[in-house]
Structure 1
Amino acid sequence: MYGSSCNLVITLGNNNVNGFTLNPSLGEFILTHPNIRTPEHGDTYSINEGKYTKWDEATKAYIDFLKLHQEGGKTYASRYIGSMVADVHRTLMSGGIFAYPVDSENTNGKLRTLYESFPMAFLCEQAGGKATTGAKRVLDIVPRSIHDRCPIFLGSKENVETVEEFFEIYSNNLTSAFR
């Protein structure tokens, strides 16, 4: 991720995720965030709400729940940058959930399974989070082609489990191949 600083987050597996920050004067990445762990629960959600009318009922109900649900006197905060890398980085570090669900224009999802969803799902799971399509673990998908797409909800374990509960409730109304 590149912004006011240039960050590199990497995992080699073994439930260990490390974050490095570029030191421009040295031209090297320095370990600044060792052993990143995603909080079990977060109060931030990241989704393009401009697509609300095109979502399935489970996704609408989940986002409505987040907008109305209070924990400790405060509601969930919406933070959507529009860059998967930046949105997932914030979710990884602070908790909450990132979502890019299916919609009526993108019935298989919009993000590519192999080179967008899989890497971020793996990173998230290695940091203690979860990643789902709503009803299926993202990393359990078997792609049929290099450009296959899938829906994704990833982030804090408890937040993702709540998404799965909504999809279970609405499962009779879903037509997605990702059930």
Structure 2
Amino acid sequence: AEFAINMSNQRFWEAPVQQYVEECIQGVVGSREKNFNMRWTASMVAEVYRLLTRGGIFMYPLDNKPTTNGGKLRLMYEASPMSFIVEQAGGVSSTGYERIMDIQAQDIHQRVPVILGSKKEVERVVSYHKKA
């Protein structure tokens, strides 16, 4: 199992993402009882290609940095196209709160949080958001 996230932003993430990543880091001794590999190339296309071929999850979650303004990746030309591809392959995409493909753009450069990949993994993160 693999997850791709920029760990340098960990202190800025919401609690549900913190919880999910901590479970992955704990590996076989944690509640998930399996090891995860963390990847980060800082290229969404490369990360999505990897998860399409190997499974896993890609996250650029909502954080509390004032510069991200609702998310880092742009809805119209980053999040939506990759979400479409992942969903066509049987995966899921979400902001943590809503399906990315259901978002009506308010601005051409609108930014959104992105959590996409294997259905089981994304649904786990979304369930943590619902409980928070």
Shared topology, TM-score over 0.5? yes
From the CA coordinates, give the structure whose radius of gyration is larger.
Answer: 1
Give me the whole-angstrom Cα distance separating, in 1, the residues matched to 2:70 and 2:81. Answer: 18
Give me the whole-angstrom Cα distance separating, in 2, the residues matched to 1:130 and 1:142. Answer: 18
Give me the whole-angstrom Cα distance separating, in 2, the residues matched to 1:107 and 1:59. Answer: 18
Using the size of structure 2 for normalisation, the TM-score is 0.91
Which residue of structure 1 aligns with residue 44 of structure 2? Answer: 84
Which residue of structure 1 aligns with residue 92 of structure 2? Answer: 130
Which residue of structure 1 aligns with residue 60 of structure 2? Answer: 100
When the two chains are superposed, the root-mean-square deviation of aligned CA atoms in Å is 1.5
Question: Is the aligned partner of 1:140 residue 2:102?
Answer: yes
Give me the whole-angstrom Cα distance separating, in 2, the residues matched to 1:139 and 1:74. Answer: 31
Offset at residue 99 of structure 1 (A): 0.3
Using the size of structure 1 for normalisation, the TM-score is 0.68
* 1:45 partner letter: F
SS at match of 1:109: coil
Give me the whole-angstrom Cα distance separating, in 1, the residues matched to 2:94 and 2:33. Answer: 28
Matches within 5 A, 1:22-171: 43-70=1-28, 74-105=34-65, 106-170=68-132
Structure 1 59/146 Cα, relative in aligned 2: closer, same or farther at 3 Å?
Answer: same
Q: How many residue pairs are counted as aligned between the two chains?
A: 128
SS at match of 1:75: coil
Structure 1 residue ranges, 4+ long, deviating more than 6 angstroms after superposition = none
SS at match of 1:160: helix
Offset at residue 79 of structure 1 (A): 1.0
* 1:143 partner letter: A
- List runs of 5+ in structure 2 lacking aligned partners: none
- List runs of 5+ in structure 1 lacking aligned partners: 1-42, 171-179
Give me the whole-angstrom Cα distance separating, in 2, the residues matched to 1:164 and 1:88. Answer: 19
Report sequence identity in percent.
Answer: 39
Q: Compare relative contact order (CA 8 Å, sep 6+) and give the higher one, 1 or 2.
A: 2
Structure 1 57/72 Cα, relative in aligned 2: closer, same or farther at 3 Å?
Answer: closer
Give me the whole-angstrom Cα distance separating, in 2, the residues matched to 1:73 and 1:112. Answer: 35
